[in-house]
Amino acid sequence: MSAEEDKCDLIPVSLLDDGPDTGEGDSFKNVKIEFQQPIFSALNTSGLQQSGTHPSKEGVTALSGASSPSAVTTSDSESGIFSSESELCVEHDSEIDSFCCTEQKVVCSQCPVVGSCQGHTVTRLASRATVVRNQLVDVCEQIQLQALRIERFITHTLSSKERTLQLEAAGARERVVSQGSAVREAVEEEEQRLLEEVQTEQERVEQCLLTQRAHWSQALATLTNTRARLVHTLTHSPDTLLVSAGSEIAERVEEAEGVGEPCDTEQLSLPAGCGASRLMRALWASALLLGPSAHGSANLTFNERTVSSLLSLSDDLCTLTFLPKRARQSPPYDPARFDCWPNALGSLSLSSGTHSWVLDVGQSAAFKVGVCYASVERKGSGKEARLGYNAQSWVLSHYDGDFSFCHAGKSTALQVVHRPSTIGLLLDWPSQTLLFYDPESFAVLHSVRHTFSAPLLPACAVADRSITILH
């Protein structure tokens, strides 16, 4: 068999039919497979013979687990590339020319007739070797394609991600520094935190990229090594050794299959919100009251004991919903519960520091949000239990499209250009200041200073739909 015939045996028909032959190698112009790659150079037996190179005895022994046959390998048009010269069956002293599929071993033609393989499925050794060899060719081609995909992933995707990361990180830094410079004195601590966040995220993504590059480089090396060993087995093993190496071949194939396919993930990109801060974007409008000392109330929920029977409370204790009459029930008596007005109080008592929380008011047409003393009246329909109508509560009220601030029965109309879907509250105890704002724009809706004489509780009332504490 010539070297050209050897090459054609391992090239898919689809590649050979790619177009008219325009010269040596023209039919493979658009195919990303070169004959210098191991599978083609290894299978070019004619080239090996011309260069005088032959597989070493140690290499053949390592692949087969036994000493190499004494006979010299010769080409065989029926079995593939190599077939050994006659070997004799120990039992019948006949030439080994068959393969027992039942016991997976090589035998002579007498074994299935008068020997130990009677009744077994037996095929010609050359035919069996051809099948195994063709299967190995397919496996090697698949491994080669997989290796090319991984190589492209490393070369293009990961490199592109690394370049994008550098640009995004630089942009994030520029935004943080630019915003911080406008209100440096008030936002210095926040600016530093955001810069550290960007740096931390960049280092995390860079570490992910390094890990991915190392992992897939190792995977590529593993595939390349596995393919080389399979090619060596394919091209340098006599038929008897080739068909007997099933377990070793299966291990190599399983090793290649275990490598997996590369894929892009969110871990390889800088987070979209990295370097962004609502405080940085809106501090120009409320720097004095929403400075770095502001703190949220992450543990704030509604106190179930205080929830009126006119309302329902969600399982997470964060959402109040106004109930129609038919859905209302009479809960057990509790001195802490509001019995006539649709009110509820928060779970946190505030008497020091700075606290802020946000409520989602959605499309509710009637609600109140604010604070009150724990001593506010809970029973009856009088003003003492009605939020904003007594001296113990301070609330922002929305009813029939109008906003107002209510305290001690006095109402102050508020000019709100854009109806917010969320309302934020900031309580700064040291300055005795209560502030209502729009969390979207940080526009101040109303602020009041008062000398509070006792701890305050968040307070809400809902007479339409629902409101929710956001964390």
What pLDDT is attached to residue 281?
Answer: 45
Rounded to 10 degrees, the C-alpha dihedral 23/24/27/33 comes to: -150
Give dist(CA 191, CA 185) in Å, integer: 10
Q: How far is CA 378 from CA 167, 265, 328, 344, 438, in A?
A: 58, 54, 18, 10, 29
Give dist(CA 143, CA 263) in Å, integer: 17
What pLDDT is attached to residue 26?
Answer: 40
- Chain centroid to Cα 112, Å, comes to 57
What pLDDT is attached to residue 295?
Answer: 58
Smallest CA-to-CA distance from 370 within 419, 333, 416, 404 is with 404
Q: Is 164 helix (H, G, I), strand (E, B) or coil?
A: helix
What pLDDT is attached to residue 279?
Answer: 60
What pLDDT is attached to residue 291?
Answer: 55
Give dist(CA 99, CA 126) in Å, integer: 9
Give dist(CA 63, CA 54) in Å, integer: 15
What pLDDT is attached to residue 48?
Answer: 32
What pLDDT is attached to residue 431?
Answer: 79
Edge to edge, the sheet with strand 105-108 lists 105-108, 96-100, 122-124
H or E element that contains 254 = helix 246-257
Q: Could you tell me which residues are beta bridge partners of residue 413?
A: 404
Q: Token match 């275990």: residue?
A: 258
- Which residues contact residue 127 at a Cβ distance below 8 angstroms, ignoring those fewer than 6 apart? 78, 79
Give dist(CA 67, CA 326) in Å, integer: 92
What pLDDT is attached to residue 276?
Answer: 63
Segment-wise mean pLDDT, segments of 10 residues, the chain, 471 residues: 38 39 38 39 36 35 34 37 63 90 92 91 92 94 94 92 92 78 69 85 92 89 87 83 81 82 84 68 48 65 96 96 90 94 96 89 96 97 96 96 96 92 89 86 84 96 96 78
DSSP letter for 139, please. Answer: H
Q: How far is CA 199 from CA 262, 367, 398, 404, in A?
A: 27, 43, 44, 45
